[in-house]
Structure 1
Amino acid sequence: MTTTLLDTTRGIVEFTYKGVGPALLLLKGGHSTRNTDLSHSSLVYEGFSLLTVSRPGYDYTEPSTGRTPEEFAETIVEILDHLNIESVSVIAISAAGPTGIALASSHPERVNKLLMEAALTSPWNKKTKQKAKILFGPAERIVWGSLRTLLKFFPDLIMKQLLSEMTTEDVDAYLERLSPNDRRFIYDMLSTSQSGKGFTNDLEHTVPDMNRLEVPVLGMYSQKDRSVPYTNALLLKSSVPDCEIFEVDADSHLIWIGKDAQEVWKKRLEFLSQS
């Protein structure tokens, strides 16, 4: 995939921009790299142009481009200006939730609508932050390198270990129910993951005031998500005037696979296509 590096006032940002049609801005979640695809790249075949911006600390995007969601929102506006994009619909995934909220609330004239996919609307809890800082701080390269090596030889073991953080279900039963395609999805997601300096930055994010959101918002969440609990959906619904919550019948944080995956795709397209 051809990527572009833009020297903004806050530093270097990496992005890709492809397709023809109404512009979508994709903000990926924690640990996701330029190579991590949770199905969103297919949106270009649905008549959209897709701008995928690597968040601060991920890929070649420098942490200085946005220590806070509000700062990175300003950097994103620079990218939109550079590309002569008047407005976008925003898809914010998981840890990118606060950035999506910041952009839509501070620049409603540049955002048509906001789609929150299993996205954070509340701060990380203290225990999760402490654990994540140990695993994905200075040692993150070694951690991910070791996990990728083990994934090749013991895929079930590594999938089980990481999925236990994403599901409230019995993880063995969850693994057994996965289709071959779903297993491939998880394998590819893990094999392309890298935290860089991005995830430790994510952990310090505070959530902007959601009451300021004026654009239409759709939140898609699962009741069985351990990493982004369903309380995030309830908070979003109670804070935003124009908000719909689509409850996904998924067994984990990974709302893009499983029995409801096609409904998620249809709901996303329906929301993004509405004028």
Structure 2
Amino acid sequence: MRSDVVRTRLGPIECAREGDGLPVLVLHGTPGGVDAAGLMAGFLPRPEFSPILVSRPGYLGTELGARRTVDEQADLLVALLDELGIDRAALLSWSGGGPVGYRIAARHPGRVRALVAFAALSKGFAEPPAPLLDRVLFGTGVGQWLLRTAGALLPRAYVTGALDNEGNLSRDQLRAQANAVLADPAQRAFLLSLIPTTARTGARKAGCDNDFEQFAAFDPHDLGSIAAPTLIVHGDADTDVPPDHGAHAAAAIPGARLRTVEAGTHLCLYAHPEAETVQREVTDFLRTS
């Protein structure tokens, strides 16, 4: 994937656009980057859809600069649409990309055709203390090497660990979901390809650190002003962003639809026995909204 740094009236942002179909602005989580956005958009049919992949401020090729708050980042992304000559776009957000997606829809209603928020933060969120193992795996170069090695040499162990870390599945559910992911080439490839995007070090550190500062102060006061058709997808076993974030947004946004994925972890749109079904629902929603 080739990305470029686009100069907007509110500063530079790393971006890659695929095709000329229905534009979908893809907002990655925390951590992430344009590479993670590319993985998120993988299920959208081309050339019908044209994903606009970005690195949010502080990630990879997008400098953090003064674009720290959720409002500033929302305005920056609308400035990107201006620079690309796009009047209206759909939004697809995941996890830590949720606040920016919601704020774009609230602050710039005329620019949003539809909104899909997957496992998205919708209210203030304090980062919980991370276990030592997580701090090593995601916060050090050695930890990232260990994750990549596990993914390459011990894919079953890696997939099982990823699902277990992102949800509160029973032992039987965990085994069944790991088997389903390993048997599905697309789901398996997604999880293994996601590994490099999970680093909280290097070119992703500034964005990740800033995200958690902003999440703690996030005020979702204007969710009720969102007018765009909204689909919220959330797993009921998500331990990364608890399901009440999805329920809160669905209750606050007029006409929003909540799609709860049973035994769904924070990865369930991409790694779950029903993932393909839910992806079709998302695609149909974007197509018809």
The answer to whether TM tops 0.5 is yes
| Residue 152 (structure 1) shift | 2.8
1:253 aligned onto 2:266:
yes
Q: Which residue identity does 2:279 align to in structure 1?
A: W
Quote the residue 1:193 is aligned against.
Answer: 198
Is the 8 Å Cα contact of residues 114 and 216 (structure 1) preserved in structure 2? yes
Within a 5 Å distance, the mapping from 1:24-35 to structure 2 comes to: 24-35=24-35
Is the 8 Å Cα contact of residues 13 and 65 (structure 1) preserved in structure 2? no
Structure 2: gaps of 5 or more residues:
none
Q: Which residue identity does 1:227 align to in structure 2?
A: D
Identity %: 26
Quote the residue 2:178 is aligned against.
Answer: 175
Quote the residue 1:103 is aligned against.
Answer: 104
Q: Which residue identity does 1:106 align to in structure 2?
A: R
Distance 2:86 2:43 in 1: 21
Is the 8 Å Cα contact of residues 215 and 242 (structure 1) preserved in structure 2? no
More deviation in 112-121 or 93-102? 112-121
Quote the residue 2:155 is aligned against.
Answer: 155
Q: Which residue identity does 2:2 align to in structure 1?
A: T
Within a 5 Å distance, the mapping from 1:139-154 to structure 2 comes to: 139-154=139-154
Is the 8 Å Cα contact of residues 12 and 65 (structure 1) preserved in structure 2? no
Distance 2:128 2:266 in 1: 18
Structure 1: gaps of 5 or more residues:
none
Q: For each residue in 1:191-240, what CA deviation from the matched residue of structure 2 results, as whole angstroms up to 9, or x when unmatched?
A: 44333122222212214321222222110111111112211111011111
| Residue 154 (structure 1) shift | 3.6
Is the 8 Å Cα contact of residues 91 and 114 (structure 1) preserved in structure 2? yes
Is the 8 Å Cα contact of residues 19 and 44 (structure 1) preserved in structure 2? no
Is the 8 Å Cα contact of residues 15 and 51 (structure 1) preserved in structure 2? yes
Quote the residue 2:22 is aligned against.
Answer: 22
* Aligned length, in residue pairs: 273
Distance 2:128 2:157 in 1: 24
TM-score (norm 2): 0.83
Is the 8 Å Cα contact of residues 11 and 65 (structure 1) preserved in structure 2? no
Quote the residue 1:232 is aligned against.
Answer: 245
Query: Compared with structure 1, are the counterparts of its residues 178 and 54 closer, same or farther at alpha carbon in structure 2 (3 Å cutoff)?
Result: same
| Residue 100 (structure 1) shift | 0.1
Quote the residue 2:220 is aligned against.
Answer: 208
Query: Compared with structure 1, are the counterparts of its residues 44 and 266 closer, same or farther at alpha carbon in structure 2 (3 Å cutoff)?
Result: closer
Is the 8 Å Cα contact of residues 24 and 49 (structure 2) preserved in structure 1? yes
Distance 2:123 2:111 in 1: 24
4+ residue runs of structure 1 moved beyond 6 angstroms? Answer: none
TM-score (norm 1): 0.87
Within a 5 Å distance, the mapping from 1:35-184 to structure 2 comes to: 35-36=35-36, 37-38=38-39, 40-45=41-46, 47-64=48-65, 66-128=67-129, 135=135, 139-170=139-170, 173=175, 174-181=177-184, 182-184=187-189
| Residue 26 (structure 1) shift | 0.7
Q: Which residue identity does 1:153 align to in structure 2?
A: L
Distance 1:212 1:97 in 2: 16
Of Structure 1 and Structure 2, which has the larger fraction of its residues in helix? 2
